[in-house]
């Protein structure tokens, strides 16, 4: 945190963030985040790791609140604007958040939660100035809790310390040669590592500029590209797919204009899910860039990356980033022989501290030798790692979001007309995987549109099944366990 603040002081006259077309300097970011810290401290000198949840659209205000929480010694818990109330309530209860800060437009959504916290603060009232802050949190202190889906029902809170975050940032800014001349566009949701660490925090650490668009739309992204000021772009494969599809519909003149702007970029990165080779090839035609594919996870930030300089191999994720150690291991957590497949296991200062309030779950994902078990299966060949799949069929990646099939099944089972169900991910070039559900119901003419409406009150849009089958029974093995591979093939 000290280094982050010092870097910001050094760059105080530079533009840190552009949001709603308004530029904000590092000096203003320092001032506003200090005011927020003072307001949160309310006379104390340290929040002592109180969880502070916040629901603010991706913007300068979001950035100032994140820094304000850290400068006050709190743990930042970003909420997602697209989540329905039950998902937000879960996070507030699970973290036992003491404070919620929100943007006025989210007031009616959050009001039912006001009584669950000691302080329910609308951002507009925070104007207080105040003197210097008397403390900065030590590197070992908890900084951030991000929720991620796993192989058990509910999402788990991944806790990273200031030290973890600094390690994640420095390995990326060094490997990808960030500088203060950089300017990046941020169109990703701000409750995940990709948007928060890889884009926003790497930019701010470097004295560079981060421009926010409140929501992804291909038209808006292309018009930002055409302004000719950006040097970097990072997104999930689904976004590249959508940009390519939009570009293909444009006139020849518009296509040329966009391609001319894109060739000037320094670097374009894809990650959070496997990049289809067809998307890599189409993007090369459109932009002249071979996308740099890298591999990461909420629990460890980025771990493996194709090179910034040197050959980027299609279908491969590259080699360990600076400071990260990787092994491929068998079921006994022993390293596999060269050329054989194994689970990716990671060590390094980038690896998270714990799942919030879940010591057993934390212990389960580390080997006795301290390796973090990712659950991703890979092979090392031709000097680079290649992902082959995951060791759990119940983890789905759709649109770059990690989704638990079991979490969706648990919600589906609460529906009064559903007797049984099973959820799987089926391959899809646009979304990575599409969520598909087999439903067993006795109800004649069961209405799937109504089911979708009902699910949307309980789950975020990206966790809603896109394909259904109404079946008489689920495929099972002799032990009675649902055979999900068989179900997948039925879709």
Among ligand MCA, ligand AMP, none, partner that 188 touches (CB below 5 to 8 angstroms by kind): ligand MCA
Sign of CA dihedral 396, 398, 402, 406: negative
Three-state SS at 431: coil
**Location of structure tokens 């790497």:** 202
Q: Which residues contact 4 (CB under 8 A, 6 or more apart)?
A: 166, 204, 205
The token pair at 280 is 């890599």
Sign of CA dihedral 449, 455, 461, 464: negative
CB of 63 to ligand AMP, least distance (A): 21
Closest among 98, 108, 58 to 80, alpha carbons compared:
58
Instruction: Indicate whether 374 belongs to the interface with ligand AMP (CB under 6 A).
Output: yes
The token pair at 353 is 């501290």
Structural contact between residues 146 and 401, judged by C-beta atoms closer than 8 angstroms:
no
| Bridge partner residues of 17 (DSSP) | 24, 210
Instruction: Indicate whether 425 belongs to the interface with ligand MCA (CB under 6 A).
Output: no
Nearest residue (CB) to ligand AMP, 387 versus 455: 387
Binding mask of the shown chain, residues 242 to 281, with x at each position contacting ligand MCA by CB under 6 A: -----------------------------xx---------
Nearest residue (CB) to ligand AMP, 236 versus 412: 236
Buried b (16+ CB within 10 A) or exposed e, 431-464: bbbbbbbbbbbeeeebeeeebeebbeebbbebbb
Binding mask of the shown chain, residues 277 to 296, with x at each position contacting ligand AMP by CB under 6 A: ----------------x-xx
Tell me the C-alpha to C-alpha distance, in Å, between residue 89 and each of 37, 149, 186, 456: 24, 16, 27, 15
Closest among 443, 439, 448 to 472, alpha carbons compared:
439
β-bridge pairing 420-428 and 267-270: unpaired
Report the residue count for the chain: 491
Q: Which of 462, 467, 468, 491 is the binder for ligand MCA (CB under 6 A)?
A: 462
CB of 107 to ligand MCA, least distance (A): 22
Nearest residue (CB) to ligand AMP, 261 versus 459: 459
CB of 197 to ligand MCA, least distance (A): 8
Binding mask of the shown chain, residues 212 to 231, with x at each position contacting ligand MCA by CB under 6 A: ----x---------------
Instruction: Indicate whether 193 belongs to the interface with ligand MCA (CB under 6 A).
Output: yes
Instruction: Indicate whether 83 belongs to the interface with ligand AMP (CB under 6 A).
Output: no
Nearest residue (CB) to ligand AMP, 349 versus 475: 349
Tell me the C-alpha to C-alpha distance, in Å, between residue 69 and each of 216, 395, 405: 27, 32, 33
Q: Which of 126, 297, 405, 451 is the binder for ligand MCA (CB under 6 A)?
A: 297
Structural contact between residues 25 and 16, judged by C-beta atoms closer than 8 angstroms:
yes
CB of 402 to ligand MCA, least distance (A): 6
Nearest residue (CB) to ligand MCA, 106 versus 401: 401
| Strands of 342-347's sheet in order across | 325-329, 342-347, 372-381, 384-390
Among ligand MCA, ligand AMP, none, partner that 387 touches (CB below 5 to 8 angstroms by kind): ligand AMP
Three-state SS at 268: strand
CB of 376 to ligand AMP, least distance (A): 5
Q: Which of 150, 155, 195, 318 is the binder for ligand MCA (CB under 6 A)?
A: 195
Site for ligand AMP in 388-447 (CB under 6 A): 390, 397, 402
Nearest residue (CB) to ligand AMP, 82 versus 481: 82
How close are the terminal C-alpha atoms of the chain, in Å? 49
Instruction: Indicate whether 297 belongs to the interface with ligand AMP (CB under 6 A).
Output: yes
Among ligand MCA, ligand AMP, none, partner that 398 touches (CB below 5 to 8 angstroms by kind): ligand MCA
Site for ligand AMP in 299-338 (CB under 6 A): 317
* Three-state helix/strand/coil letters over 62-75: HHHHHHHHHHCCCE
Positions in the binding site for ligand AMP (CB under 6 A): 148, 271-274, 293, 295-298, 317, 374, 376, 387, 390, 397, 402
Positions in the binding site for ligand MCA (CB under 6 A): 188-189, 192-195, 216, 236, 238-239, 271-272, 296-298, 398-401, 431, 434, 461-462, 466
């Amino acid at each position: 945190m000290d280094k982050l603040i010092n870097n910001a002081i050094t760059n105080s006259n530079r533009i840190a963030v552009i949001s709603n077309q308004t530029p904000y300097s590092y000096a203003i970011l320092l001032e506003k985040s200090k005011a927020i810290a003072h307001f949160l401290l309310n006379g104390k000198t340290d929040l002592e790791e109180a969880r502070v949840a916040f629901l603010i659209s991706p913007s300068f205000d979001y950035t100032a609140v994140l820094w304000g929480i850290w400068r006050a010694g709190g743990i930042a818990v970003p909420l997602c604007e697209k989540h329905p109330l039950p998902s937000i309530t879960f996070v507030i209860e699970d973290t036992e958040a003491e404070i919620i800060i929100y943007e006025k437009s989210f007031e009616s959504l959050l009001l039912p939660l006001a009584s669950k916290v000691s302080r329910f603060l609308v951002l507009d009232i925070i104007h207080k100035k105040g003197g210097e802050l008397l403390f900065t949190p030590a590197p070992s202190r908890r900084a951030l809790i991000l929720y991620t889906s796993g192989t058990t029902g509910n999402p788990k809170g991944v806790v990273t310390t200031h030290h973890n975050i600094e390690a994640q940032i420095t390995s990326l800014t060094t490997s990808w040669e960030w500088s203060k001349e950089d300017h990046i566009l941020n169109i990703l949701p701000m409750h995940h590592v990709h948007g928060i660490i890889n884009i926003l925090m790497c930019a701010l650490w470097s004295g560079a500029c981060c421009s926010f668009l409140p929501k992804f739309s291909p038209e808006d992204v292309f018009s930002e590209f055409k302004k000719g000021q950006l040097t970097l772009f990072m997104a999930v494969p689904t976004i590249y797919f959508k940009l390519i599809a939009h570009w293909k519909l444009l006139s020849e003149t518009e296509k040329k204009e966009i391609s001319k702007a894109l060739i000037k970029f320094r670097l374009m990165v894809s990650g959070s899910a496997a990049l289809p080779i067809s998307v890599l090839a189409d993007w090369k035609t459109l932009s002249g860039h071979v996308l740099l594919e890298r591999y990461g996870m909420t629990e460890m930030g980025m771990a493996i990356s194709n090179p910034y300089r040197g050959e980027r191999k299609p279908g491969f994720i590259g080699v360990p980033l600076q400071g990260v150690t990787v092994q491929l291991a068998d079921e006994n957590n022993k390293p596999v022989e060269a050329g054989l497949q194994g689970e990716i296991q990671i060590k390094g200062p980038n690896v998270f501290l714990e799942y919030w309030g879940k010591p057993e779950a934390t212990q389960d994902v580390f080997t006795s030798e301290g390796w973090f078990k990712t659950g991703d299966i890979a092979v090392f060949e031709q000097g680079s790692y290649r992902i082959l799949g995951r060791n759990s069929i119940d983890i789905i990646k759709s649109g770059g979001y990690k989704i638990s099939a079991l979490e969706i099944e648990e919600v589906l089972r609460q529906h009064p007309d559903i007797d049984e169900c099973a959820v799987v991910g089926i391959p899809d070039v646009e979304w990575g995987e599409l969520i598909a559900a087999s439903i067993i119901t006795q109800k004649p003419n069961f209405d799937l549109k109504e089911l979708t409406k009902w699910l949307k009150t309980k789950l975020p849009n990206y966790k809603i099944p896109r394909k259904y089958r109404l079946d008489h029974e689920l495929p099972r093995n002799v032990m009675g366990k649902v055979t999900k591979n068989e179900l997948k093939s039925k879709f």
